[in-house]
Amino acid sequence: MARHRNVRSMQYDEFDDDFAVGSVNDEPECISPTDAQQWIFDRARGQSSLDSFLSNNEDIQEEDDDEDENESPSKERRDSEHFEFPELNELDKSRLLSCMDEIRNIIGETYSDRRLVAAIMSNDYDFNKALDTLLNGESKPQVHHHPRAKIPDVVEKGIGEMLLEKSQQMKHQKEAVTVTVTPASKNKTSGFEVNSPRTLTPNSSGRNSPQEDENKGNRTKEAIRNARELFEKERGSEKEQLHLVVIGHVDAGKSTMMGHLLFDLGNVPQRLMHKYEQESKKMGKQSFMFAWVLDETGEERNRGITMDCGYQRFETPTKQVTLLDAPGHKDFIPNMICGANQADVAILVVDATRGEFETGFEQGGQTREHALLVRSLGVSQLCVAINKLDNEKWNQDRFNDIMNKLKFFLKHAGFKDSDVHYIPCSGLTGENLVKPSTESELISWYKGPTLLQVVDSFKVPERAIDKPFRMSVSDVFKGVGSSGFCISGRIASGHVCTNDKALICPSKEQGVIKHITIDEFPVQSAFAGDQVSITLTGADPTNVSVGFILCDTHNPVPLATKIKARIIVFNVKSPITIGYPVLLHHHSLVEPATVSKLKAQLHKGTGEIIKKSPRCLTNNSCALIELSFQRVIAIEKYSDLKEMGRIMLRVGGTTIAAGLVTDIINS
Amino acid sequence: MKLVYKNLDKGCGSIKVIPDESEDMWHAYNLICEGDVVTASTIRKVQTESATGSSTSNRVRTTLTIKVENIEYDTQGCMLRLKGRNVVENQYVKMGAYHTIDLELNRAFTLTKPEWDSIALERVDMACDVTQKADVAAIVMQEGIAHICLITSNMTLVRSKIDIAIPRKRKNNPSQHEKGLTKFYEAVYQGILRHVNFEIVKCILIASPAFVKDAFFEYMIQQATKLDQKIILDSRSKFMLVHASSGFKHSLKEVLQDPAVVAKMSDTKAAGEVKRLETFYTMLQCEPARAFYGKKHVQKAVDALAVETLLISDNLFRNQDPIQRKEYVKMHDDVLEAGGDVKVFSSMHVSGEQLAQLTGVAAILRFPMPELEEDSDADDSD
């Protein structure tokens, strides 16, 4: 009887699982004639169609639920009798048995052998943890269930649908109470916890049964509610996390400045610095010695430029800062975007040397493009480090000159004056980085803070911990000595714990999160804003690539083949028309796209529609457009989740527009 | 393509041609319309029933004449498949029976059209012109993504797309990154060996951002020396390293604009088309009243004899609807008559692909027509 619900939810692999475990869901039961009349479809009796029969019998489900409840305790008992131990080697088996004995001593025969073994195995033979698991009844044993490659149908449903469904189920449930509830089952239920006994038996009827769903739903709801508490508990005592990206034109001295900063803070051992000094001297590039702290590969050192983002961490009096050293070269802007996507605040390094500042700032220089990029990626606080001012003899006029030029530009780029700090410094000599300068020419006119003080004064933006879990995959690699594979990236929103299930979109791979590490340090849970690497099992690494989104299974990220977006066009060589091929940058994803429609041109300030369906978009205009992709991508509306709704459009090595996703179309 | 005979009288009649390279199939695809009659040699499965009632089937090569109802073109294999009803009965195939002809290389076919317009005739001339040939292979790549393309005068064929995830460099463990990179280079190298015919190709472009192209070229030469692959080492001078902003297909446009490449392959249609389209975009930027796209606008400009250069995608001439096709042909002829210049873009090139997305037709005008721009609001309601 219980079977037909399974059929409805079409979980074929669920079936197989259940059979593989060796127990059958429904035993043959005798049906009384009246029951039969109610429940069995009989064409001979003149019921016109199966459909109408089913619609007349809406409450079939509830009856089933009750029967399930009746069934499960007896099954639990039966479980123990037929249960065979999993195949283990001698050592593990003895550990398992001793563990089981201890648990039995404490809790008696409340639980089946199967459940005990599962709990013990999932906790790696740790008796205390296993006992906790059993008593809390929270984690379902995973040992006997094959990892599900296919996502249950439920996952693909929208949130709204799920809610709707849930409310319907609740209604059914209420009605169900009036039907038959045998006292025996009630007694049994009230034994341990709020969850129905069914969740205790690992092999009860389909996991996807509606009631189970409701439990899951409750659980996620609970998890969401607890996210902030959990965060307070885990992180309350620690310093605030801040992600800082260093940007600027090529050869402005970004890596050198940061290398020197790290060295001055004592994050780089003296011995190592000495080694770098010797080696760089040998290569005839002594001025690069500090840059080597962040540029670690041979190629980067040989060429003397940063190619991919370098990661380092350091601490200021009130914050823990993750430093992302972005490459400045034009060809590596995709890497820079990837880094800037992870940042909360930025340091813009400009070269004060006469001529150098100008080339970096003029058309085609990266100073402009980087600043625009980080602004459109949501960075609002900026520190402008006017570097190499020692080349200009710490000239105040030069400093003011550059500051004024940048002030004008940054204001236009959308930075508030109060959120931008200007600092004179020298990356190579280390003036005004950590300690106030001793250079008399500088202190004669500069009384402001050092670079470190500015970094310390940055405000940490609000993290979207309460939102559903999202993480953009920025790297896929094989972990060291673990099963499965590792993916790394920054959590854009929500939080995640070990043993959570997660879904990778758009390939819809499902896996279980085995380990989470932050900066090589294993943790149990991670929150929005953290830079993590996650070991995933049960998923196929070939279906995961850079730019995919790891998300919550209950609340997956929407998929799109077309999006509508509101964009701001930067300086473009040729105007944007329909059919214009562009590269879309979204977190780590780089995907070719085509502008398929120009919906409307908007007023830059007010957002009013100036012109419907314009022929083309020229410099500095604002517009509503439609973009279409060859493949499905995972993206979210800006209104739903800010972190996931920002896009960048690039053509031929220059950024032509930045935008926000306003609508998602999945055909 | 070789022309065997041309038998035309006042725009109707037939021609017989022999396609001799795969690109000719593309020309044939552009020539043949639904409703045309094609005679070609083909293979037909014929069932014969003996007196006792047992039936045997065997394949017979026969020459059939069909009235085309459906045309399929396989861009990758360069195959053209024509489906239609038999119009000339022979001993194997009854009148009106359906048959599908696969046009084959080096076998002549005869095409009879009820009406040969200027576009079709131009296409025949172009296809039979042997001087228009420049075969170029291009590899656009970035770390992890590569496209191996063949550029002929009328087509850009993506022969192979390589997409390999390369782990990023990480602290203490750069080996995974290097391993991934080597795997990627090897895949591209194998792709080149498989897809590029070094005897035909005159020039091989390797384009990428930053140092990927140099690193790959170094790897390729190293590998070729190690494995003693003469074919690569001998054609070392054919390789050209060019900058491109990404490894996706549309960066081919940038590659074809590179001055060094233009100098080397100025005679190819591909490079010319890219330049034309760029001119159009520049005009749209500088003088928007002199650049228009979309059928309505262009038609108005043509009527005003204002068109200096008409850019039109050849997919419009393959239109299923003969009336629409006629309209475009007329547009083409009118512009020529008015002393304008017409460029028919091949929709198989990247620039043509873009033009096809841009409604397929665009025009640069002799004089500004701001009035067109003004009434655009009324027009865009469709």
What's the pLDDT tens digit per position in B88-134? 988 888 899 999 999 888 889 999 988 888 888 888 888 887 665 66
B254 in A contact zone (CB under 8 Å): yes
Task: Determine how β-strand A622-634 pairs with β-strand A589-602.
Answer: antiparallel
Could you say which of B173, B210, B248 has the minimum Cβ distance to residue A332? B210
CB–CB contact B245 A653 (8 Å): yes
Among A190-194, A464-468, A493-497, A526-530, the range scoring the smallest mean pLDDT is A190-194
Q: Does A580 touch chain B (CB under 8 A)?
A: yes
Judge whether residue A152 has pLDDT over 80.
no
Per-residue model confidence as pLDDT tens digits over B157-214: 888 999 988 888 776 666 888 888 999 999 999 999 988 888 888 889 999 988 899 9
- A92-101, A327-336, B28-37, B174-183: the lowest-pLDDT one: A92-101
Q: Say which range, A37-46, A636-645, B299-308, has the weakest mean pLDDT.
A: A37-46
| Complex prediction ipTM | 0.80
Q: Over 60: is that where the pLDDT of A17 sits? A: no
pLDDT of residue A350: 92
Test mutation, B177, B255, B277, B284, chain A, max A CBs within 10 A: B284
Contact B293 A611 (CB under 8 A): no
- The predicted model gives A45-50 an average pLDDT of 52
Quick one: which of B75, B270, B253 has its CA closest to B159? B75
Interface probe for A, chosen from B161, B168, B251 (most Cβ of A below 10 Å), is B168
Does pLDDT of A613 surpass 90? no
Contact call for B250 and A581, based on CB within 8 A: yes
Contact list, B169 vs chain A (CB under 8 Å): 296-297, 308
Residue A20 contacts residue A203 (beta carbons within 8 Å): no
pTM (predicted TM-score): 0.71
**Domain annotation for chain B: domains and CATH numbers:** 2-127 (2.30.30.870), 136-267 (3.30.420.60), 270-381 (3.30.1330.30)
Residues A67-93, mean pLDDT to the nearest whole number: 53
Query: How far A52 CA sits from the closest chain B CA (Å)?
Result: 46
Residues of A in contact with B290 (CB under 8 A): none
pLDDT one-digit tens code per residue, A468-505 = 899 999 888 887 666 778 888 889 888 888 888 999 98
| B289 has a chain A CB within 8 A of its CB | no
Considering chain A, what percentage of its residues have pLDDT values greater than 90?
19
Distance from CA of B1 to the nearest CA of A (A): 33
Q: CB distance from B257 to chain A under 8 Å?
A: no
The predicted model gives B76-86 an average pLDDT of 88
When pLDDT is averaged across residues A128-136 and rounded to a whole number, the result is 66
pLDDT per position as a tens digit, A350-405: 999 888 888 888 866 888 889 988 988 888 899 999 999 888 888 899 999 999 99
